[in-house]
């Protein structure tokens, strides 16, 4: 069947596609958009993106791609950064305590501990100097570990939205949802895609600024959005309709 470019299609949505692929060139993406009709806008924007970004890492399109890409980029940046790994470990410990501790959000520790542990284990190895980029690819390539990390990142986002309820509740009033209802339905379940609120929540919770470049049909140059606005982005994602991949500056 012909691929529909507005549905990022065969490129990364195969259920047997790797969760995280090796860093590569933009060739596959260009080839993908060369096939169909009316894709000139995509090809033009890709050309522009290539002046800023040297490579792309494709993430499986399964509804978890935003969380998986963002988490991968954070862990990747910490491989040879012991202080950063310690700080991130401290952040996760604080979040776990807020989720499960006295006067916290009421989550059962034994229900989420295994997911939390999969986030802490790589950090402990980084702190000990025994972790590597190859290990990271293995961790993120295995269903059990990769999705455990994704699920805990969803909890990180959920925890932040709930803790900062006053900031986020007004955005949900139109939908008649409480923050708790929203996170239960739209944040915590695996494969639920992100909207603006989840992106803001996760970036604020982790404190790692993000830029999203939009590969879409809009006129003009490539649009981007920084989270938080005016932040100095450390992670760069490419958005195509319904999907996120990881970009690397040239």
Catalytic (active-site) positions:
62, 65, 243
Place of tokens 């972790």: 131
Q: Which ranges in the chain belong to alpha helices (H)?
A: 9-12, 27-35, 40-50, 65-77, 82-100, 109-128, 133-141, 143-163, 165-172, 179-182, 196-206
Give CA 170 to chain center in angstroms: 24
- Grouping H, G, I as helix, E, B as strand and the rest as coil, residue 234 is coil
- Grouping H, G, I as helix, E, B as strand and the rest as coil, residue 175 is helix
CB 212 within 8 A of CB 237: yes
List b or e across 203-223, with b for residues whose CB sees 16 or more CB atoms inside 10 angstroms: bbbbebbbbbbbbeeeeeebe
CB 5 within 8 A of CB 39: yes
Rounded Cα–Cα distance for residues 95 and 80 (Å) = 24
């Amino acid at each position: 069947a012909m691929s529909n470019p507005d549905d990022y299609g065969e490129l990364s949505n195969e259920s047997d596609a790797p969760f995280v692929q090796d860093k590569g060139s933009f060739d596959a993406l260009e080839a993908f958009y060369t096939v169909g009709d009316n894709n000139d806008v995509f090809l033009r924007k890709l050309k522009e993106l290539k002046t800023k970004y040297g490579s792309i890492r494709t993430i499986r399109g399964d509804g978890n791609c935003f969380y998986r890409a963002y988490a991968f980029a954070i862990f990747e940046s910490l491989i040879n950064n012991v202080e950063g790994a310690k700080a991130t470990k401290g952040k996760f410990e604080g979040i776990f305590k807020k989720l499960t501790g006295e006067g916290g959000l009421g989550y059962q520790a034994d229900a989420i501990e295994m997911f939390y542990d999969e986030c802490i284990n790589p950090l402990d190895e980084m702190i000990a100097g025994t972790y590597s980029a190859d290990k990271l690819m293995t961790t993120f390539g295995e269903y059990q570990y990769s999705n455990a990390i994704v699920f805990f990142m969803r909890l990180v986002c959920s925890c932040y939205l709930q803790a900062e309820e006053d900031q986020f509740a007004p955005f949900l009033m139109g939908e008649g949802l409480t923050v708790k209802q929203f996170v239960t339905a739209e944040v915590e379940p695996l494969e639920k895609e992100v909207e603006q609120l989840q992106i803001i929540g996760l970036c604020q919770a982790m404190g790692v600024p993000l830029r999203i470049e939009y590969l879409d049909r809009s006129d003009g140059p490539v649009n981007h959005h920084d989270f938080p606005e005016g932040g100095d982005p450390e992670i760069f994602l490419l958005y195509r309709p319904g999907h996120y991949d990881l970009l690397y500056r040239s």
